[in-house]
């Protein structure tokens, strides 16, 4: 093994709500993708240290319709499982979640191989979110999920339900039973059920998916309960430990290695000054040991998460290697010379199609301008995750705007309600000029006091992010750079800066707009993402 040190987060940048699974000698983690397309990102590893992207599970419109879903709506908390023959994945599609209502549908898809093809979905129900599927040793299957109660005066997080799933009938059967009301932490969600040494262990997320987040455990001798609560709860949390480098820790799932050891995958976040988590919620691993009376716990530090562990479950020394376990995460480049888009690239709410995205031979990726970056329906935008607090991206763009309705460029993009956008447009005097658009909680501001003349097309554009502060540059040759505007506080591009709720993370986007509806094209090529040294 090249390295025996697990360095958290193992999936940096926006990778929340992990569900971990081992099939044979391979570990898989599925994470939430919300309104980003394709849906449900899956990583694989053979050693818990080195992780690689291996699949997206939701890749067709027939599997999900996210057009118009709210920011941080869409696909929540996918749960990956295997019954010895096929992979199963259940997920929520959330259409609306401003209280008191949560309008949601839950679906099941299956595949023989993790890479797919994944089936069209079975619609399960809409009674709550965060579904998971448990395969019992007797062959029966049960759907668990959070129950949402919108009525006034009620606990909206009403508890965890269980109902049998019949694969032959392709639907739920029997009575839905409320098996767990949760603990005093509240906001009970994210259930996973495991059968271990004759017990059924129910692992849930509680405390809300922010600073009070936690993992709690209960157990029973039967799937339907009654469940007794772990006396050591919460099993994992950073609440009350403000010096913890990993915060918001919760939404855990368990996996056993082939040598019998146990690990917990969980979400976490790393805040900048002011408690802004620009990188979003990430995925980490902690070892699990079992007490003499059969309860799980995190060793060494109680419930507090750690940055480094040996693969044997022992704390790694401070001198442990800090280089990325996956070399690709040190940065990447994409010539954008031909399709299809690589797995690092995502779109908003719908798949890319040739009506707005294409490839010009010898020139690069073509985006035909559509509606604004604030639109939830028809954006011409492709984006990759920001994975480092200090990074810069550069790309060459060929674009000839004819008027103020045409624009294209580079954006630090959290969602349609929050972004920083360096765009090339054309003024009324016929001059091509740069603009910097800030959209903060839907309020749009033009940050440049006077528009700056652009270099002749094609032009190189660069965006740098350093500890939550953004800076744009332009260049005629990609070597000599000149700033466009000054540094901008970009910490609002985070869950904490969202208008209502935010559950995702900051992306770097290539975008084109044509508000006239004419589809004015912009061509992008030679994209690079480079982490800056600390």
- Of these residues, 17, 130, 350, 496, which one is catalytic? 17
Give mean pLDDT, residues 495-499.
Answer: 94
Give mean pLDDT, residues 337-363.
Answer: 95
CB 322 within 8 A of CB 307: no
Give mean pLDDT, residues 171-199.
Answer: 97
- Architecture of the structural domain at 331-531: Sandwich (2.60)
Domain boundaries, the chain: 5-327, 331-531
* 160/78 Cα distance (integer angstroms): 16
Edge-to-edge strand list for the sheet holding 19-23: 19-23, 26-31, 39-45, 52-58
Side-chain half-sphere exposure of 237, counting CA atoms within 13 A: 22
* 406/424 Cα distance (integer angstroms): 8
Give mean pLDDT, residues 387-400.
Answer: 97
* 30/14 Cα distance (integer angstroms): 12
Give mean pLDDT, residues 399-415.
Answer: 97
- pLDDT band for position 4 (50/70/90)? confident
* Angle value at C-alpha 432, between 430 and 433, nearest 5 degrees: 125
Q: Using one digit for the tens of pLDDT, what is the confidence trace for 352-387? A: 999 999 999 889 999 999 999 999 999 999 999 999
User: What pLDDT is recorded for position 1?
Assistant: 37
In the residue annotation, 449 being an active-site residue is answered as: no
Give mean pLDDT, residues 49-60.
Answer: 97
- Of these residues, 130, 189, 334, 495, which one is catalytic? 189
* 181/455 Cα distance (integer angstroms): 62
Q: Where are the alpha helices (DSSP H) in 81-147?
A: none
For the four alpha carbons of 60, 61, 62 and 67, in that order, the dihedral sign comes to positive
Strand partners, 110: 88
| Residue 391 vs residues 123, 328, 463, 468: alpha-carbon distances, Å | 41, 14, 8, 10
Element (H, E) at 255: strand 247-256
Residues 6+ apart with CB under 8 A from 154: none
Give mean pLDDT, residues 62-87.
Answer: 97
Class of domain 5-327: mainly beta
Whether the per-residue pLDDT at 130 is higher than 50: the answer is yes
Cβ count within 10 A of residue 251: 30
* 315/99 Cα distance (integer angstroms): 42
Give mean pLDDT, residues 127-150.
Answer: 97
* 5/322 Cα distance (integer angstroms): 9
CB 380 within 8 A of CB 357: yes
Q: Using one digit for the tens of pLDDT, what is the confidence trace for 320-330? A: 454 555 554 67
CB burial string 255-277: b at 16+ within 10 A, e below: bebeeeebbbbbbbbbbbeeebb
In the residue annotation, 513 being an active-site residue is answered as: no
- pLDDT band for position 315 (50/70/90)? confident
pTM for the model:
0.96
Which tokens in the block code for residue 237?
Answer: 């949390």
Q: Cis before residue 483, ω within 30 degrees of 0? A: no
Give mean pLDDT, residues 165-177.
Answer: 97
Indicate the range of 161-175, 293-307, 357-371 predicted with least confidence: 293-307
Q: Using one digit for the tens of pLDDT, what is the confidence trace for 28-54? A: 999 999 999 999 999 999 999 999 999
User: What pLDDT is recorded for position 329?
Assistant: 65
- pLDDT band for position 300 (50/70/90)? confident
Give mean pLDDT, residues 11-35.
Answer: 98
| Residue 41 vs residues 26, 38, 73, 344: alpha-carbon distances, Å | 16, 8, 16, 10
Return the SS3 of 150: coil
């Amino acid at each position: 093994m090249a390295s025996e040190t697990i360095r958290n987060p193992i999936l940096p940048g926006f990778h929340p709500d992990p569900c971990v699974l081992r099939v044979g000698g391979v570990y898989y983690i599925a994470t939430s993708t919300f309104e980003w397309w394709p849906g449900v990102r899956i990583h694989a590893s053979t050693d818990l240290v080195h992780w690689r992207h291996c699949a997206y599970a939701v890749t067709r419109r027939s599997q999900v319709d996210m057009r118009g879903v709210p920011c941080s709506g869409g696909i929540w908390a996918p749960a990956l499982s295997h019954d010895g023959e096929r992979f199963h994945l259940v997920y929520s599609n959330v259409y609306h979640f401003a209280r008191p209502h949560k309008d949601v549908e839950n679906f099941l898809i299956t595949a023989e191989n993790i890479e797919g093809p994944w089936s069209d979905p079975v619609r399960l129900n809409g009674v709550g979110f965060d579904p998971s599927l448990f395969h019992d040793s007797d062959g029966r299957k049960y759907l668990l999920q959070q129950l949402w109660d919108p009525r006034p005066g009620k606990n909206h997080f009403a508890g965890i339900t269980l109902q049998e799933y019949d694969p032959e009938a392709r639907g739920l059967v029997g009575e839905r039973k409320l098996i767990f009301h949760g603990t005093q932490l509240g906001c009970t969600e994210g259930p996973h059920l495991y059968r271990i040494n004759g017990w059924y262990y129910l692992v849930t997320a509680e405390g809300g998916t922010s600073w009070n987040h936690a993992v709690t455990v209960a157990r029973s001798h039967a799937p339907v309960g009654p469940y007794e609560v772990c006396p050591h709860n919460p099993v994992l949390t950073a609440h009350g430990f403000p010096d913890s480098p990993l915060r918001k820790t919760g939404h855990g799932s368990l996996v056993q290695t082939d040598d019998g050891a146990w690990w917990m995958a969980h979400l976490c976040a790393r805040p900048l000054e002011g408690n802004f988590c620009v990188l979003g919620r990430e995925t980490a691993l902690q070892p699990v040991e079992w007490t003499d009376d059969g309860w799980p716990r995190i060793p060494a530090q109680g419930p507090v998460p750690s940055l480094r562990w040996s693969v044997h479950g022992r704390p790694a020394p401070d001198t442990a290697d800090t280089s990325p376990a996956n070399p690709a995460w040190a940065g990447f480049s994409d010539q954008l010379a031909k399709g299809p888009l690589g797995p690092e690239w995502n779109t908003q709410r719908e798949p890319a199609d040739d009506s707005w995205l294409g490839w010009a031979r010898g020139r690069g990726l073509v985006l035909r301008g559509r509606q604004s970056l604030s639109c939830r329906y028809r954006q011409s935008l492709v984006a990759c995750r920001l994975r480092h607090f200090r990074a810069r991206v550069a790309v060459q763009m060929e674009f000839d705007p004819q008027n103020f309705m045409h624009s294209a460029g580079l954006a630090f993009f959290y969602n349609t309600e929050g972004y920083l956008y360096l765009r090339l447009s054309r003024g009324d005097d016929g001059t091509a000029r740069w603009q910097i658009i800030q959209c903060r909680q839907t309020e749009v501001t033009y940050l440049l006091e006077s528009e700056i003349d652009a270099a002749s097309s094609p032009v190189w554009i660069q965006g740098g992010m350093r500890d939550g502060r953004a800076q744009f540059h332009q260049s005629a040759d990609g070597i000599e750079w000149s700033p466009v505007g000054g540094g901008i506080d970009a910490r609002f591009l985070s869950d904490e800066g969202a208008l209502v709720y935010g559950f995702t993370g900051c992306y770097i986007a290539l975008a084109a707009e044509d508000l006239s509806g004419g589809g004015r094209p912009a061509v992008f090529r030679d994209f690079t993402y480079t982490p800056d040294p600390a």
